[in-house]
Chain A
């Protein structure tokens, strides 16, 4: 966990006071909606179909148990008893009343939480690997760099009114769990040939109407230069990014239009003027920030204790869950546990106040009080002693977050879609539920293996459909919901955009189509362990397309 200081607390408290005053003036009529809207958006308050929506930032997806309990409190006190974890590792409350928002924000501020920069044309929540700090394949905790950037860009006046929003992700593991290439700016920590640590810098990724994967503009950047280089990228974008057309305003369009090489040249020119200035990361400053991350006092434990093996042998359900939801930890005797927020019949990413409270209690008891949010819309307990797994599993099952479907076909990433969102053209959640129901047979789901489905209810692509192994995009045609299907997308270190397989299909046929695609995969794969995505890459989409449209 990162420990906020007085500056953070003061800043958040002052913002709550400002917002309370602004809401009061709006309700009294002193402010018009045109005047108030930019103020509420600066605090993450949107207006959706049914009500105001409050989006709360969860920096690099790390939550303390106290923060999760406070989110439960907000859900229960000011909303309808649940919240929605998003693909940006934030949380949204969909039924907030404007009149009550200042109190909700004051309660959140008491644990250092807020909605700043969860909307608007600024740098949004810096995201990372949900296993940061504990993954065995990690070089260094990427959250330290995410925090350095967070501190620099929070309320930074130069970057508060950019051409469009700006999303940054940081990774430092061999396997990309942060979907780096779909970000406006991504940093990947690695070692160069000389053994030095530095970042690969990627820019211009993003989905939406015009999807692009980020391009590498600097293969190796010394750690000391990371902040000055980020600043140079932001300045270059701020200067040259288009402001005349919202659909062409993201950095991905600028990088595409200029070309990555020319963009990089502009950045380098800017960077040379600032790289040895105050933004060069001083070791002492870096150490101070790193030092504010508190790591658990792990105790020496046996790896793979005998009691765990016995529990796996004794209970098939526990063994299945263990195989699906438990991952190796860098410290012997510990493990990383993923909590599925994708129960059959549920809404992907939703958690009730009762679940949040219970998870906070379990985090205190079993995970040193820490919880993570992943972009897949699941939660993680990052520091669980392996010997505690049987007891933890029973408690997770009791509250409905132990569905053993992580990374399987029913672990669907989905935006809220037309059931909540004012931008959506079609519903997402019912599609996710239909597919999950169709594949409720867990043996079948395991037989299909790793298979990521991503659903977006509009072209803005909050469900990241372009990088789903199966991507589903809702569109509206003559007042009816239709869905375009893409195959072969992926968001890992070998990121790819999916390929559209043909005409959109109606709402009622989407689950059938997914079933056809799954059946085609089973027939096409060369061996049982060839993953769906590997089969698609080997065969191309044509055989799947033939299967899907043969009878349609």
Chain B
């Protein structure tokens, strides 16, 4: 099982802030997980299709798209940040 979290307008597009998911074993990277989630949430897939719009974090640290995910990880997807 993985915990997936969404933030800001991505959260609104998906329609939820977080979910527990159990993807098939071949879903081994953040990129693969994002594509798999996109099949369940079409508006998330739309955001993923725009280059550079979606940022990725695993266990509360930024990672690249090819980062490996493991059971129990917390994976977060969010738009570019606008704090400060």
Indicate, yes or no, whether A interacts with B: no
Chain B residues with CB under 8 Å of chain A are: none
Q: Show the binding face of A for B, using Cβ within 8 Å.
A: none
